[in-house]
Amino acid sequence: MKIDELKSHLKKGEVYRRVDLAKWSKSIDRHLDQLVADGTLQKLAPGMYYVPKETVFGQTPPNEEILVRRFLNDDRFLLTSPNSYNSLGVGTTQLYNQRIVYNHKRHGEFKLGNRNFSFRKKPHFPKKATQEFLLVDLLNNLDTLAEDQNHVLKNVFTKALTMDTNKLKQAVSEYGHVKTKKLLEPFIQTSEQSHYAH
């Protein structure tokens, strides 16, 4: 029975694309329907499947990094969320049920499993979200946030003065929108001047 061969290749907690699984089955669509029906697989999105992992608390959802990697079929992405801005301590307090994926391939809103992802195609983004990147990213997206913008802006400027000027300058030049560059330019110059003054 070929479905058993297909099953033998499945790893718990792993996310698969239909095309990855097709190499182990001659009638892949029929087998996928059977495996979804018997609970071996969960369908996350068209052509994407998850092998649920059982824990004492029930089934765990797929790891987001694996999910996004399989969806994009690419390792180059940055998974972040507006909640990350709260770590900057600039007065953002809202909690957002949104995950943002900066990547080179896809653009748009996608539902994978029961989670919503906003894929944003960008030429540049860091491998990890540094504090400098988050500050720039916060300003890039300030208009979309449910925060008191003036209050946050004031705190962002205070924060900018405490940051590593070179790192911030680099983050602004690589990732900042035009408006963000204009807002932060004076603070970078002030920091540089005070640095040279010492």
pTM equals 0.87
Q: What share of the chain is helix, strand, coil (3-state, %, to 5)?
A: 50, 20, 30
When pLDDT is averaged across residues 8-31 and rounded to a whole number, the result is 94
When pLDDT is averaged across residues 116-145 and rounded to a whole number, the result is 95
Q: Taking a C-beta distance cutoff of 8 angstroms, is the pair 189, 157 a contact?
A: no
E strands in the chain: 15-17, 42-45, 48-50, 53-55, 58-60, 77-80, 99-103, 108-112, 115-121
Q: Taking a C-beta distance cutoff of 8 angstroms, is the pair 118, 101 a contact?
A: yes
pLDDT tens digits, one per residue of 56-95: 988 899 999 999 999 999 999 999 999 999 999 999 989 9
Domains delineated in the chain: 2-62 (1.10.10), 65-197 (no CATH)
Helix axes 131-141, 165-175, angle to 10 degrees: 40
N-terminal to C-terminal alpha carbon distance within the chain: 77
CB atoms within 10 A of CB 80: 20
For residue 50 the two structure tokens come to 């998850």
| Geometric angle at alpha carbon 23, from 62 and 53, rounded to 5° | 20
Residue 190 has a pLDDT of 76
Work out the burial of residue 160: count CB atoms within 10 Å of its CB; fewer than 13 is exposed, 13-18 middle, 19 or more buried. buried
